[in-house]
Homo-oligomer: A and B are copies of this chain.
Amino acid sequence: MMPASDRLDATFAALADPTRRAILARLALGEASVTELAEPFAMSQPAISKHLKVLERAGLISRGRDAQRRLSRIEAKPLEEANGWLEGYRQFWETRFQHLDALLDAVRSHMGDEGAADGDAPKRRRPRKK
């Protein structure tokens, strides 16, 4: 088994392609053969097979052994690990958006004050650094 960091490398690299993400979206609905996967894409089966190999090496899919109708199946684990890594930053971006919300609220209440301020010139506030 790959070390966790190598697995994340492989997962993120595999996800960095729109066709591979679309293949995963299709496989989330159920197993599919290469022929079925190639249909919605303007792509040859060998091109799709190449993408499947990348997904398989990253552990994002597994493939049946039946040579006639080799079904691909999505695997949940690497997606969950990648999500786990990103979740570590959730607090970070949520805090960032709370700051933006607070800033917007301040701007709105400031505009409200102006409306109620009998035509006084609005107080100049130091702009908040971005």
Contact = CB atoms under 8 A, between A and B. Distances in A.
Contact of A74 (B76, B82, B92): B92
Copies of this chain present in the complex amount to: 2
A57 to B, nearest CB: 13
A80 interface: yes
Interface string A17-47: 1100100110010000000000000000000
Contact of A89 (B76, B85, B86): B76
A110 interface: no
A111 interface: no
A63 to B, nearest CB: 12
A83 interface: yes
A78 to B, nearest CB: 10
